[in-house]
Structure 1
């Protein structure tokens, strides 16, 4: 029994893009640039939302949390990925793989729920502007963020043990660049139908339920915007929501495609590039999406940099 446990704790080989050595060098440079952008952009938003009194509002409280999530989400993957892309060594320790899976799933699940929370905040801002400060009081904001984090922890602590306990019959090659649940389930040498069904059910709860709430919020926002008589008023309402809607589209579009399809129809190469997109590209452009058309953030940034 001890020997079997020892063998199950062997290091995994992250295959990644090793079948395309030329692509690995290009990807290394591409990922490094986007990782630096993620670090700079999201750290700036967190600092601004803490230090600038004008940004002490529910919207920026949630945005600061989203930036923190994106920062941790990408950092749980990129250093290991860059190491594997740069050299011939493609391994990750068993415990490193487990830690990556847990952290990745906690943060990804939390982000799904947090984006729904942010859409509710936008709904109150547009549809009930006179009651906004009363409805979105600090205690409620903290409770909503806590619920998002609890959902993330619950999903991870339910699914990760089931995934790691599957028999792999000595298989150590993970056909991915990170320890992701579908790739680890695909390595199993036993029937995984029950685990896949459970993962699908949780995926529906954590992806489709928040997405439905987001769509309902934006349906009500759209109806409210159409009732606004002035073009300037409509433009202001649109600007309030467009950034969040863009982020939702990028994040949910790729993640739903990844997790809500049967394992046998899952294209591994396609999956790798989609995972690259929502784990590395999206977190780096989120700060840009939120700041490009936002006067408050631009003003806070200038103040932080000492410009008048």
Structure 2
């Protein structure tokens, strides 16, 4: 199989609801050295020269991811691959539908940025499955179950159970057909293709590819991820406002006695606003106007 006939979609548009119960940061924005996890995971999976790369982003994250994402990402094979951010939807399936609209290759590899540690040999096994049987519509990695399993009053045969992982390699035409009904939602590509009656093949996955789902999962992953950067990041901020009669004057969070204040949708505190812009700049987080727009009456 020619990997240049494969597009890569990285799913990063989720709200990290389960992860945020333990930590306040969305998992895709965890910093590994200088880069967020969504970019680290994308670089990690580029063992081959894919035709193109698409990374889904939530509407809230879209502008920031666009500003941080390189237009081309260098693969380990030293090929430069075009990379684009695609705005996702309310569910994983909706986000995938949005990304698939941009794909113009016969195959697509879909993975989750939370499953950041994709092993190189895995893609070789997936390629072999497709090469040996052209009727296969989707190839997925899985884990075997070692423990006794119990479900709704019955013990199950653990030999028959597979825990499905990503990345998953699919035929684009079949996957689009499987996702055509917008009233249906699926947890992954293989379940959608299976529901359509497509042929799914399985290859051995690895516990090293387990997802970061809960805050407690970091204890397993932290030793394998690079430490936070020791570099100092610098941001700059500036804010300018006109004066307005009979408005309170706030500077640095302190109310100053004055017959005029700053004309602004908010308090107009140029000191704190400039400081916020400097902090946001240092973390690659846009500017204060993006976080607290003057078109929102909540910040009046």
Normalising to structure 1: TM-score of the pair?
Answer: 0.25
Structure 1 or 2: larger strand share?
2
Bigger RCO of structures 1 and 2 (CA < 8 A, at least 6 apart)? 1
Larger Rg: 2
Structure 1 or 2: larger helix share?
1
